[in-house]
């Protein structure tokens, strides 16, 4: 679990440093920085989707898992809408904002949580930590999350720091159950998870631009669809 602990601490420290810079940034500059970060996330997400979806085989460009990605997003978003995940997160965030006097908690918390948990490094690093205590991948992830947390907190506020909580839970579960999950979260399933995750990040980036409102929290159940498919696929 040391890799998960270090990763969570890195997010807290990076986010806290970002909050210090946030206080020195003027509102207009903060809005411009938020939009710039949104564009950067869009570019990152598109790059992630392309690298996971396309590959060169026998000199030809082929796509993979694109249909499963679309199905996952559709089914997951419908489930999220029915469960009203975004509404529940917003209500919880409003209560926290009122009691603690914190503004814009929900946006920073949900966006950071998704961003920190998505990607192969989070999954593979946690499984390696659980199987043999190798935390090298999570150490690299910690450096990335430290930098990203600092940037996100500058624009999205203190909610980013609290993103360490779902990160600790998510990666902690992967680490504790590494023996069981190591044979499941590989190959096509891992690729599909990354595809869905980067698609959600794309939604976060578009939402940060402010022109379109996207309830990315309602898309979170999409991450479960590739796993469920991997479990039931052998029976078909």
Where do the domains of the chain lie? 2-235
Answer with the residue of higher pLDDT: 178 or 84: 84
Query: Which pLDDT value is given to residue 75?
Result: 95
Query: Which pLDDT value is given to residue 155?
Result: 84
Contact 117, 166 (CB under 8 A): yes
Answer with the residue of higher pLDDT: 222 or 190: 222
pLDDT score of 156 more than 90 = no
pLDDT, tens digit, for every residue of 47-82?
888 888 887 777 777 777 788 889 999 999 999 999
Contact 126, 175 (CB under 8 A): yes
Share the mean pLDDT of the chain: 85
pLDDT, tens digit, for every residue of 5-20?
999 999 999 999 999 8
Confidence of residue 87 (pLDDT cuts 50, 70, 90): confident
Q: Is the alpha carbon torsion for 208, 213, 218, 220 positive or negative?
A: negative
Contact 83, 217 (CB under 8 A): no
User: Which structure tokens are listed for 105?
Assistant: 């908690």
Query: Which pLDDT value is given to residue 83?
Result: 92
pTM of the model: 0.79
Give the whole-angstrom CA distance, residue 226 versus residue 5. Answer: 27
Query: Which pLDDT value is given to residue 185?
Result: 77
pLDDT, tens digit, for every residue of 100-144?
667 678 778 888 888 888 777 888 888 888 888 888 889 989 998
């Amino acid at each position: 679990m040391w890799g998960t602990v270090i990763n969570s601490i890195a997010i807290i420290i990076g986010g806290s440093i970002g909050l210090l810079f946030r206080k020195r940034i003027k509102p207009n500059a903060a809005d411009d920085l938020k939009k710039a970060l949104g564009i950067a996330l869009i570019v990152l997400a598109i790059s992630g989707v392309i690298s996971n979806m396309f590959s060169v085989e026998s000199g030809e460009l082929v796509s993979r898992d694109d249909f499963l990605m679309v199905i996952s997003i559709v089914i997951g978003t419908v489930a999220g809408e029915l469960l009203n995940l975004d509404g529940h997160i917003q209500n919880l965030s409003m209560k926290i904002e009122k009691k603690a006097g914190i503004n814009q908690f929900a946006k920073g918390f949900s966006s950071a949580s998704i961003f920190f948990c998505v990607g192969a490094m989070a999954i593979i690093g946690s499984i390696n930590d659980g199987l043999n205590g190798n935390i090298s991948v999570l150490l690299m992830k910690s450096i990335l999350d430290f930098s990203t947390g600092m940037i996100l907190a500058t624009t999205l506020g203190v909610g980013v720091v609290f993103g360490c909580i779902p990160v600790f839970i998510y990666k902690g579960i992967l680490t504790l159950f590494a023996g069981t999950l190591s044979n499941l979260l590989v190959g096509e399933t891992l690729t599909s998870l990354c595809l869905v995750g980067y698609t959600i990040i794309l939604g976060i980036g578009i939402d940060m631009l402010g022109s379109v409102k996207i309830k990315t929290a309602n898309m979170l159940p999409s991450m479960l669809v590739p796993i469920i498919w991997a479990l039931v696929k052998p029976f078909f």
